[in-house]
A and B are shown apart, each in its own frame.
Chain A
Amino acid sequence: MSNSKKYLQEELIRISGVNPKKCMRCGKCTATCPAYDEMEYHPHQFVYMIESGDIEPLLESESLYKCLTCFACVERCPRSVEPAKLVEAVRLAAIRKQGNNRLTANDIPALLDEDMPQQAIVSAFRKYTK
């Protein structure tokens, strides 16, 4: 593994607090994930791809923006791996790059309707924008 790859891997493990080595590949996280159909890489794949250093495809993946932060995979993993924390770490690594914001203030008017709660907008900004 190249140095920069190694560094990114360590960074993701450090900021997520997740130890991917605890994973026993049972797939329960993925089975319970409500965004399963829309995800190209599923929660268990985030875990093993980060463990093996295959991180580039995750950084580029639309899956990052389909995760609902519902914590189902965190709650139901029998080994307390907490995959959502890795998804979050990769998403941050992606959107923290300059020019990589997924959502900007200019996008909001087209998405608004009269009943939309403020909560939807601030939450989306937390997840999609730095």
Chain B
Amino acid sequence: MKFSYFPGCTLKNKAKDLDNYARKCAEVLGVTLEEIENWQCCGGVFTTAKDEVATKLSSVRILKDALKKEQALVTVCSACHNVVKQTNYAIQNDKEFAGKVNRYMAEDEYNGETQIYHYLELIRDVIGYDKVKECTVNPLTGKKIAAYYGCLLLRPNSVMRMDDPENPSIIEDLIRAIGAEAVVYPYRNECCGGYVRLEDAKLSDKKSNAVSESAKKAGADVIVTACPLCKYNLEKSGCEIPVVYITELLAEALGVKEDTNE
């Protein structure tokens, strides 16, 4: 099975593990991720204003490229996923916006045809947790893992449609599939402060601490995330337990993690 893949700029730089292990694990699970050519950064956050058009065109080009190859599109970074998905939704539901977008495009019209999967959805809906169980050579038995959803994977649910926005289970189900224990805690879908760290680091520290304290209190050994900014904010604010990418954890279980010393 082949899918178009949009890694995004952070996964090419500070979050190389998120990208590298996503590809490796996909191969083990029987899926090939073909990187879109000449993609550009999605901008990291979706601008909800209807008259913002140019800032959304990089996402449209990515979606169009996948359509041309007749493939569904896979994203891994929570932020990329949110931006690309919200852009696609706007094209499907706002005719005026779609018209403006298409006037920028040289060739065929794009009307939101591309199907988008976040990596977690690819595992749940295409690969299946049974396949993950079957391929797990190093079950993480006894490890207590807290899933950190943050905001961008789940909200707004009218667009994202990934899971129940207030009581999600998509990451916990994956944690269980690789043999570990999923720790459910109150702040798993609350914000870490995001980009506001650049404007007000104290605000971001406060929000991040609330998340990591909540996870720790519930007994977690480690927090997993799919968002480089969530990871950075939690670590920067002095989180006492390790914060790792979900793909890195999966790679450990599937036996494709490099220099594992566990």
Contacts and interface: CB of A to CB of B under 8 A. Distances in A.
Contact of B193 (A68, A118, A126): A68
Contact of B15 (A34, A66, A117): A117
Given A66-B196, A75-B155, A118-B9, A126 B14 contact: no
Given A119-B228, A120-B232, A126-B55, A65 B199 contact: yes
Interface string A17-54: 10000000000000000110110000000000000000
Contacts, number: 135
A16 B165 CA distance: 23
A70 B232 contact: no
Nearest to A80: B158
Contacts of B236: 115
B85 to A, nearest CB: 12
Contact of B229 (A35, A88, A120): A120
Contact of B79 (A111, A115, A123): A123
A70 B151 contact: yes
Interface in B202-240: 203, 206-207, 227-229, 231-232, 235-236
A61 interface: no
Contacts of A121: 198
Question: What secondary structure prevails in chain A residues at the interface with B?
Answer: helix
Question: What secondary structure prevails in chain B residues at the interface with A?
Answer: loop
Interface string A51-68: 000000000000001111
Contacts of B13: 117-118
B162 to A, nearest CB: 13
28 contacts: A14-B50, A15-B49, A16-B48, A16-B50, A34-B191, A34-B193, A35-B203, A65-B196, A66-B199, A72-B191, A74-B155, A74-B156, A88-B47, A88-B49, A89-B48, A92-B49, A115-B235, A117-B10, A117-B15, A118-B10, A119-B229, A120-B198, A121-B198, A123-B194, A124-B198, A124-B199, A126-B43, A128-B199
Interface of B: 8-10, 13-15, 41, 43-45, 47-52, 55, 77, 79, 151, 154-157, 165, 190-191, 193-200, 203, 206-207, 227-229, 231-232, 235-236
